[in-house]
């Protein structure tokens, strides 16, 4: 009997997977049995991450492209589907953040964040759902954020993009459910990634850790486990959901 959380025989593409949450998700999917395509903009770094995962016994391949290059993204999806005869899991993890006061944020900067965080995800979904529909099954997983629920200052474009990504996921969940494809959002809270080095510094670390019921911030691997669940058969009836993984921060008073 195959374990319901097993991803054996599945093919996945994880964007922004050369570090942080993306790399942790790629590793976790691979450990669960999936063949994983690792995406990043830098070909050398992307190849190195894929080779590192392969050294751990994970079947991993490099898929270097800029997610905002729709032609390159679609071509990569077609190549993966042609090579393996399937693409079962798409994880839209790429997320660009602009930390600055709203008065210093112009419309072009705002639009660029939406392009990277939302428009690219939509384009990848449209490309990925073609092979998924042919097989009658698939998983779309979008890495959102708890900022769509609790908005920090000086992040208006990022907050808007994560809210839009969550709303888009719900729409995709309705659009593609009849084809056997689910769409869900994974919403992390404070995660100790390389790009979030300020999370470890005082007074930020102490102030926010005190507001998290579990009294600590997450490691990337703790977010990845939830992605494995959403990608698995165990989540077959989970559709249009937002799975919050934040140690209770968003519900604390």
Q: How many CB atoms lie within 10 A of CB 71?
A: 9
Whether 219 and 192 have beta carbons less than 8 Å apart is answered as: yes
CA distance 193 to 107: 28
Whether 50 and 247 have beta carbons less than 8 Å apart is answered as: no
CA distance 167 to 188: 16
Whether cis (ω within 30° of 0) applies to the bond prior to 203 is yes
- Annotation says 158 is catalytic: yes
Whether 29 and 14 have beta carbons less than 8 Å apart is answered as: yes
CA distance 29 to 146: 23
Catalytic residue among 158, 190, 229, 249: 158
Burial 75-87 (b: 16+ CB within 10 A, else e): ebbeebbeeeebb
Active site residues: 158
């Amino acid at each position: 009997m195959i374990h319901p959380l097993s991803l054996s025989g599945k093919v996945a593409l994880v964007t922004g997977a050369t570090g942080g949450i993306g790399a942790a998700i790629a590793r976790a999917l691979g450990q669960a049995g999936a063949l994983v395509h690792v995406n990043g903009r830098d070909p050398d770094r992307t190849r190195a991450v894929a080779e590192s995962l392969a050294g751990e016994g994970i079947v991993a391949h490099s898929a270097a492209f800029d997610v905002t290059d729709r032609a390159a993204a679609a071509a990569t999806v077609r190549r993966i589907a042609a090579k393996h005869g399937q693409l079962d899991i798409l994880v839209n993890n790429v997320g660009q953040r602009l930390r600055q006061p709203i008065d210093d944020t112009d419309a072009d900067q705002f639009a660029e964040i939406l392009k990277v965080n939302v428009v690219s995800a939509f384009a990848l979904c449209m490309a990925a759902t073609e092979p998924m529909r042919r097989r009658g099954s698939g998983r779309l997983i979008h890495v959102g954020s708890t900022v769509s629920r609790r908005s920090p200052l000086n992040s208006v474009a990022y907050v808007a993009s994560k809210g839009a990504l969550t709303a888009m996921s719900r729409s995709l969940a309705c659009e593609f459910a009849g084809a056997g494809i689910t769409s869900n959002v994974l919403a992390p809270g404070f995660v100790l990634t390389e790009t979030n080095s300020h999370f470890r510094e005082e007074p930020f670390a102490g102030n926010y850790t005190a507001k998290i019921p579990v009294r600590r911030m997450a490691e990337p691997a703790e977010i990845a486990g939830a992605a494995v669940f959403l990608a698995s058969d165990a989540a077959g009836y989970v559709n249009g959901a937002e799975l919050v993984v934040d140690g209770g921060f968003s519900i604390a008073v």
